[in-house]
Structure 1
Amino acid sequence: MTQQHDIAFVRTEDAPRMAPPPSEIGLRGWLWRNIFASMADYSSPGKAMVSVFMTLITIFTAYALIWMIWTVLNFAVFSATFTDPAGIKREACVENVGACWPFVQAKWYQFMYGFYPREEVWRVNICFAMLAIGVAWLIFPLPHRGKVAVFMLTGFPILCYVLLNGMPIEQAGDVGEVVSGVWFPLILMGIALAGWWLTASGKYGDVVAAFAPALLMAAVVLGIFAVLPLVTMVIDVALGTEVVETNKWGGLTITLVVAIFGIVISLPVGMLLALGRQSKAPIIRYSSIIFIEVVRGIPLISVLFFASAMLPYFLAPGVDFNKLLRAMIGVVLFASAYMAEVIRGGLQAIPKGQYEGGMSLGLTYWQQMRLIIMPQALTTVIPGIVNTFIGLFKDTTLVLIISIFDLLGILSATLKDPEWSTASTAYTGYLVIAMIYWIFCFGMSRYSVYMENKLNRSHR
């Protein structure tokens, strides 16, 4: 019998590498993976039909996107009128179907400053410069960003109000009268600080804890309004500025003033309302719930009308706020209610163990909130907070209802100029305004993404 032996072959070198399939490389591979990937699944007639439908939707969307981009570029660049060297205004754009950029050049000052006097516009430019430097300081990894953030949230709005409004020495009145208005808020601040010290020291903490924070915030706000005339007078004596009434403010200046004021005030007020809604004290809890639900159930236009027309009836005789301040109060009340719900969502996402850990360390309620709970809650709801800020920034256009000419209101006013009455003038103005709003909103959105990534704790 013949014995058979198994013959084994051992390869001494690598086999030649085969080229990848054409559907996996190059433009074809990218299209197959990202556009026509669903076409590969024909396991059933239903899935095949869905794949074909999704591919048709992709092709239609790509065509619509290309068509829109080309239309905008054709209007804004290729068919546009860029210069008017002869100074003939509307005649330069009347025969052109594209954008009328000379109109934007002629009205750019009003878009930025409204009716602010040209000889005093340097004050607005200083505020714009401080805003740009502050934002850049917070975005880039520069030292002392915490201190800069505190200044941008507290000192910057006050300093800009002083610069924009102004108050000459002859209108400031007697210094003694100005200083005397500070005593009452200072007394309140002293009482609040004493309450905070009693709470921190553990003496009578249960009684004082419910009132000290609210009293401290009220005293600080009253103190700011009382000290503001004195600070205004001192700065204006040094700079020699004059009063510019708020009815002369307009354009991007008004938009930023209302938006920054609303953002700065609505965040802490929303935090207090969110904590108040979770409070065990019935008066505080139900007061917060009523305020939040009532304000959220009313359109912002109604709130602005209420702040403009009815707010003076709730003030003491002789006390009056100008129209802009009334609008800012209405915006703050409206934004605070939405901010409270966003922050409350973050508070509810915090596990109970975090509260128990704070209590095990012997921390008081406010220490737990400040050191443990609130930082985590705010980090969790950064997208919601920034979304509220973006909505607030865009809602500033509604102040036109009460005759305050913001960026969109100034455009509506300039379009009535017969010297620039062409078919493309309005479209050009709205395109510019849309780009300005998009730049600010997109910037806030990207900064929120940066903060999310920086504060990410890898909990996902």
Structure 2
Amino acid sequence: MSDNTLSYVRADMLGAEPPPISNKSVAGWLQTNLLATPKDVVLTIIALAVLAFTLPGIINWLFIQASWVGSDRSVCATIAQGGIQPDGWKGACWAFVQDRFQQFIFGRYPIDERWRVILVGLMLIVLLVPLLIPKLPHKTINAVLLFVVFPIVAFVLLRGGDFVGLQRVDTPLWGGMMVTLILSFVGIAVSFPFGILLALGRRSNMPIVKMFCVIFIEVIRGVPLVMVLFMANVMLPLFLPVGWTIDNFLRAVVGVALFASAYMAEVIRGGLQAIPKGQAEGADSLGLSYWQKTRLIILPQAIKVVIPGIVNTFIGLFKDTSLVSIIGMFDLLNIIRLNFADTTWITPMTPLTGLVFAGFVFWIFCFGMSRYSAFMERHLDTGHKR
């Protein structure tokens, strides 16, 4: 065979090419994320055009033409020579949010006693932040204080009573962001461990335990949260002895926690099924008991796999707290909607501004949970390092 037939063999070396653009630089990020292919370029141009068309109007309505300070609806209207022009409303009515802000946070909680709510909030932050930082020690003590001691102390402070020397504040007076955070915290704190037990029970070899867990999970997942709350509020007292009663707020907490536990159980079960059988067999060969194998080998790996699903359930639970209005509780969204009928602030811009404010608050919390989830995924990604 002659050399002329080897046309696929390169005779000359390739020339030197410029180094690739670093992804850490602005140009590299733009090249990688926005301009990598012709299709990406077209989509980027369309997105920029949409933003250029909509963003100026949104900024104008939210900030430039908005009314920031005032005591009634007149500050949110255009003043003409003949008085307020009904059709001449300006931008967002942030004066309404500023005037009702404390009610949005505390509900109808007595003004002189709101220091108790603030104190509980500070205690939550002090106990929660160290637990969320992986490098800080004493996680067990911190978890016991946060999930066991703190709920009892918080309830005593918020409820009050003669036995603690504080004014009694019944739960019907609770509302606003306080109710949203309480329901979310209790729902998350209860649903996570209870969901783990339900997931383990559904995979159990004991027929009675497995049947109970399957029935509980499928029944709860088969009905909407509104129905669970309605049954907790109406039907739960029917199963109590005569003369016994349960606070409406506690019924809502129980309903939300049970509902979230059923969904959490399926998320955890998905993680358990993703763990290779060899992990359990290796633990058995070392002589570990069932609970040692589950606690030390299986669960840590399963939970790491399903962190996105767990946080997704928490985010859904946080948003679903708005449904407690079905039993007469007013969380952040419903306390804002309740103020739409206030004659002092009836304007076309009031409902929209209030809903924008509520949406922004919900987004802040949900986005924070999402970013922390991504951080924990990176922190726990110890396998297959490149």
Amino acid at match of 1:60: I
**Tell me, what secondary structure is at the counterpart of 1:415?**
helix
Alignment of 1:41-440 (within 5 A): 51=39, 55-84=41-70, 87=71, 89-95=72-78, 96-140=89-133, 141-169=135-163, 236=164, 240-440=165-365
SS in 2 for 1:154: helix
Q: Which residue of 2 aligns with 1:38?
A: 37
String of CA shifts for 1:218-274, please: whole Å, max 9, x gaps. Answer: xxxxxxxxxxxxxxxxxx1xxx21211000000001001111110000111101110
1:447 to 359, 365, 372: 372
In the other structure, the counterpart of 2:381 is 456
1:165 partner letter: R
In 1, Cα distance between equivalents of 2:320 and 2:378: 28
Deviation at 1:38? Answer: 2.9
Q: 1:428: Cα distance to partner?
A: 1.3
Give the CA deviation at 1:64: 2.3
Distance in 2, Cα, partners of 1:396 & 1:20: 53
Q: Does the CA contact (< 8 Å) of 2:337 and 2:354 recur in 1?
A: no
SS in 1 for 2:37: helix
Q: CA deviation at 1:329?
A: 0.9
For residues 30 and 378 of structure 1, what CA distance do their matches in structure 2 show?
Answer: 32
Contact preservation (8 Å) 1:114, 1:248: yes
Structure 1's 37 and 368: CA in aligned 2 closer, same or farther, altered over 3 A?
closer
Q: What is the distance in 1 between the residues matched to 2:131 and 2:148?
A: 15
Residue 66 of structure 1 and its aligned partner are, at CA, apart by: 4.0
Alpha-carbon separation, structure 2, partners of 1:20 and 1:126: 57
* Structure 1 residues 452 and 243: CA distance shift in structure 2, 3 A: same
Q: Give the partner amino acid of 1:167.
A: G
Hey, what's the Cα distance between the residues in 1 that align with 2:383 and 2:107?
47
What secondary structure sits across from 1:321 in the alignment?
coil
The answer for unaligned runs of 5 or more in structure 2 is 1-15, 79-88
Inter-CA distance 358–446: structure 2 relative to 1 (3 Å threshold): same
TM-score, length-scaled by structure 2: 0.86
Instruction: Give the Cα separation in 1 of the matches to 2:121 and 2:26.
Output: 46
| Cα distance in structure 2, aligned partners of 1:92 and 1:387 | 41
Gaps of 5+ in 1: 1-16, 40-50, 170-235
- CA spacing shift, 1:18–1:441, aligned 2, 3 Å: closer
The aligned residue for residue 81 of structure 2 is: none
Q: Percent identity?
A: 49
Q: Check 1:65–1:316 CA distance in 2 against 1; reply closer, same or farther (3 A cut).
A: farther
Contact 2:67/2:91, CA 8 A, preserved across alignment: yes
Which amino acid is 2:155 matched to? Answer: Y
User: What one-letter code is carried by the residue in structure 2 that aligns with 1:260?
Assistant: F
Shift, 1:144, TM fit? 2.9
2-side partners of 1:148 and 1:71: how far apart? 48
**Distance verdict in 2 for CA 1:325–1:282, change over 3 Å:** same
Q: CA RMSD in A?
A: 2.4
Distance in 2 separating the partners of 1:27 and 1:455: 28
CA distance in 2, matches of 1:135, 1:29: 37
Distance 1:459-1:115 versus aligned 2 partners, 3 A rule:
same
Q: State the distance in 2 between where 1:102 and 1:27 align.
A: 39
Cα separation, 2, equivalents of 1:68 and 1:325: 45
Q: 1:30 to 1:368 in 2, by over 3 A?
A: closer
Q: Residue 63 of structure 1: CA displacement?
A: 2.3
Give the aligned partner of residue 10 of structure 2: none
Per-residue deviation, residues 176-196 of structure 1 (Å, max 9, x unmatched) = xxxxxxxxxxxxxxxxxxxxx
Classify 1:110/1:355 alpha carbon distance in 2 versus 1 (closer, same or farther; 3 Å): same
Structure 1 residue 142 displacement after superposition: 3.7
Q: How far has the Cα of 1:367 moved from its partner? A: 1.5
**Code of the aligned partner of 1:61:** A
